[in-house]
Amino acid sequence: MAGQGLAAGFLQVPTVTRAYTAACVLTTAAVQLELLSPFQLYFNPHLVFRKFQVWRLITTFLFFGPLGFGFFFNMLFVFRYCRMLEEGSFRGRKADFVFMFIFGGVLMTLLGFLGSLFFLGQALMAMLVYVWSRRSPHVRVNFFGLLNFQAPFLPWALMGFSMLLGNSVLTDLIGIVVGHIYYFLEDVFPNQPGGKRLLLTPNFLKLLLDDPQEDPNYLPLPEEQPEL
């Protein structure tokens, strides 16, 4: 019964959050069971472009290390802030949310190549947290009962905690930088004099993923309005 309740609760999670979290957990489980090796997953430009192992462009974002405190810590923040974004500012806009993942993933891959980073899941987590924090500037965050501060400080607190866990600060910095680029292009620049939206979600993603009636700004056409 408990398992059924857990499964039912997980199915209530928004689609993108559910898919990404499940992919991360399943990838880590496959490595733990020795069905896969981290050497098959890490980002390697030579293997991607010379050996056509293109899956590495995706799996670099799915592996958070072996099962342990670091893995569960990262999964907690991935699940929480990915879900809050999808249920908040991206509610009814799955295509825009997926496009944010794609935009962020491309930039992080380029920066990760320059920084010789092999796994970028933690950078993606930092990006999600950064975008949420900038869109929720007045929310107060309780950090494990130790610190209480406003949301925009959360990415930096996470980076400091990541240092204590022995992780690379560069990975978190890349996520924060990419998150800031996305936030600036999506939320700041369009509201400046002469500014406009530069990040336009491709129509095929909207046709594939979006249900117009889930969009909070959706207004039915006259023929769609119910008769009284």
Could you report the per-residue pLDDT of 111-146, keeping only the tens digit for each? Answer: 999 999 999 999 999 999 999 999 999 999 988 777
* 3-class SS shares of the chain: helix, strand, coil, % to 5: 65, 5, 35
| The pLDDT of residue 166 | 76
| The pLDDT of residue 13 | 87
**pLDDT tier, 213 (very low <50, low <70, confident <90, very high otherwise):** low
Range of the domain at 201: 14-209
Asked whether residue 227 is domain-assigned, the answer is: no
Asked whether residue 130 is domain-assigned, the answer is: yes
Asked whether residue 228 is domain-assigned, the answer is: no
pTM of the model: 0.89
- Cα separation, 201 vs 90, in Å, equals 13
CATH of the domain at 120: 1.20.1540.10
Three-class DSSP category at 147 = strand
Average pLDDT, the chain: 88
| The pLDDT of residue 11 | 78
**pLDDT tier, 174 (very low <50, low <70, confident <90, very high otherwise):** very high
Q: Among 53, 24, 26, 22, which residue's Cα sits nearest to residue 40?
A: 53
Asked whether residue 225 is domain-assigned, the answer is: no
Asked whether residue 127 is domain-assigned, the answer is: yes
